Homo-oligomer: A and B are copies of this chain.
């Protein structure tokens, strides 16, 4: 059985809407997801970069993110034909551990907790595929990287790309 490793933020956990909403509220701004295309919030507003990152240190930030559309249904299908691991770069935000674990238990309760991986550098992951929004993780990954479209990777080329979970389904279950 081949193995697919799947990232969390911006792949199954809809990170940007909440981050943008909190930022816009607190700093009286009006940035939209469209504005993030090709960049990141902290790059667009560099004078507030540390404040923008600070939201992610709140232990509850990751607990109530929306689930990315179709990800539950498609991962459930994939899990019939592939080993599924959730591999999230949590070590930069250690206060997120519990929220991320509980979020996975709530929304992906059909996955074995022994298949959750909280890591930093993803070159440690042994899998046939890695679905991730950060192309940097593919550089030293031994398998096939599959870039999941997110605003910040809009201009990234050179990788297999999927724009949504319907396309993930087509990619793996064609």
Contact = CB atoms under 8 A, between A and B. Distances in A.
A91 B119 contact: no
Interface stretch (A22-30, A44-52, A121-129): A121-129
Contacts of A92: 113-114
A119 B119 CA distance: 8
A17 B94 CA distance: 27
Describe A's contact surface by its main secondary structure. Answer: mixed
Nearest to A126: B126
Interface string A81-123: 0000101011110110110010000000000111111111101
This protein's copies in its complex: 2
A5 interface: yes
A117 B115 contact: no
Contacts of A90: 118
Contact of A123 (B89, B97, B121, B126): B126
A117 B118 contact: yes
Contact of A98 (B97, B113, B123, B126): B97
A113 B118 CA distance: 11
A142 interface: yes
A118 B119 contact: yes
A61 to B, nearest CB: 15
B114 A117 contact: no
Contacts of A94: 97-98, 101, 113
Contacts of A95: 98
Interface of A: 3, 5, 85, 87, 89-92, 94-95, 97-98, 101, 112-121, 123-127, 142
